[in-house]
Amino acid sequence: MRKNSVLSSHGTRKKVRTYLAATQAKNTQLAYQSDIAHFLKSGGKIPATPHSVASYLAVHANTLSLATLNRRVVAIGHAHKDKGFASPTRSALVTDTLRGIRRINGSRQRQVMPLLKADLVKIARKLTGLIGLRDKALLLIGFAGAFRRSELVALQVEDVRFVAEGVMIHVRRSKTDQKGVGRNVAIPYTKGSHCPVQALKLWLKKSGIKTGALFRRMNRFDQVTDYGLSAASVALIIKQRVAEAGLNPKQYSGHSLRAGLVTSAAKAGVSSWKIRQQTAHKSDVMLQRYIRDGQLFQNNAVSQIW
């Protein structure tokens, strides 16, 4: 009886660890692990003192972005919480150090170039072969759905439903939906030879994929494998394809597809609430950066007087 009780206890603890791990997205967990590794490599320890964390921030203030520093602080806090230690990141010394870095270095974030519709079509024209079909479907669907790269690589064939109007794609979980409620994204058929829906249909037909990961790795013989793409590989594909189109790959990232849809829609005069319907942004605040940049040349003061 006691042995069964112990086994049951071990099984319960394993389940608890599984559920605790599920409270954070996999990409977030990996980012936190990388952050802690950098902190430890820089001489930090867990548990840490407020002074050691503040010193770490000061040393790297000019080499790391404010967003990265903020995430490192959160990761350090989580590491202490996981081990049952009081977090030094809540101390006034740490928060004031961050505030000072923000004031001196500014809080402007690196803004990647949006991959606009015109450039996307230019890229799509050059894509050939089975790997070209995959990348064409990946880029067009990523753009039309305003998907994050983590959402793209998480898509399964079972999440795709073709309807008379186009395709309905179910996103099971996203950065802003950690509870896994999910949402549906509608992508309609479009005019021209670079329709996202048709591109996706062709990829599924030619690849022979019937179930599992929607976008997959290819082996060196250009054969489809059973393994899905990683979030990092989406960024690499974007950089490779924009470079082939004569654009600067350093200016583009995995976020360029999502930013491209927002910017392109804003340029076309699409209302912010319709854009949010596609992107799932909670408010217009997060959209304003893209909308503002996309409309800088519309009714420009110079154009009005020249």
Catalytic residues: 148, 175, 255, 258, 281, 290
Q: What is the pLDDT of residue 27?
A: 60
pTM of the model: 0.68
pLDDT tens sequence across 47-62: 999 999 999 999 998 8
Query: For residue 299, how far is the Cα from the chain centroid?
Result: 33
Collapsed DSSP state (helix, strand, coil) of residue 175: coil
Burial class (CB in 10 A: 0-12, 13-18, 19+), 50: middle
For CA atoms 258, 261, 266, 271, the dihedral sign is: negative
Q: Is the pLDDT of residue 19 over 60?
A: no
Cβ contacts of residue 102 below 8 Å, gap of 6+? 66
Residue with the larger pLDDT of the pair 206 and 291? 206
Q: What is the pLDDT of residue 67?
A: 82
Which range, of 116-125, 137-146, 228-237, 292-301, averages the lowest pLDDT?
292-301
Q: What is the pLDDT of residue 287?
A: 72
Q: Would you kindly state where each structural domain of the chain is located, as residue ranges? A: 2-105, 117-294
- The full DSSP string for 138-159 is HHHHHHHTT--HHHHHH-BGGG
**Which of 200, 120, 189 shows the shortest CA–CA distance to 159?**
200
Q: What is the pLDDT of residue 258?
A: 93
Task: Specify the CATH number for 117-294; select among 3.40.1440.60, 3.30.2010.10, 1.10.443.10, 2.40.50.100.
Answer: 1.10.443.10
174: DSSP letter: B
First to last CA, the chain: 90
The residue type at 294: G
Going across the sheet that includes 160-163, the strands are: 160-163, 166-171, 183-188
Q: Is the pLDDT of residue 13 over 50?
A: yes
pLDDT band at residue 282, thresholds of 50, 70 and 90? Answer: confident
Cβ contacts of residue 256 below 8 Å, gap of 6+? 112, 113, 114, 115, 238, 242
> Which runs of consecutive H residues, i.e. helices, occur in 22-65?
26-41, 50-59
Q: What is the pLDDT of residue 294?
A: 61
Q: What is the mean pLDDT of residues 275-284?
A: 84
Q: What is the pLDDT of residue 3?
A: 47
Percentage of the chain modeled with pLDDT above 90: 58
Which range, of 81-95, 111-125, 172-186, averages the lowest pLDDT?
172-186
Q: Is the pLDDT of residue 286 over 90?
A: no
Percentage of the chain modeled with pLDDT above 70: 81
What is the helix, strand, coil percentage profile of the chain, to 5? 55, 10, 35
Task: Specify the CATH number for 2-105; select among 3.40.50.970, 3.40.630.30, 3.40.50.11540, 1.10.150.130.
Answer: 1.10.150.130
Q: What is the mean pLDDT of residues 72-76?
A: 94
pLDDT band at residue 1, thresholds of 50, 70 and 90? Answer: very low
pLDDT tens sequence across 103-125: 888 755 556 789 999 999 999 99
pLDDT tens sequence across 20-44: 555 555 666 777 888 999 999 999 9
Bridge partners (DSSP) of residue 171 are 183
Cβ contacts of residue 137 below 8 Å, gap of 6+? 196, 199, 200, 202, 203, 215
Mean pLDDT of the chain: 86
Q: Is the pLDDT of residue 4 over 70?
A: no
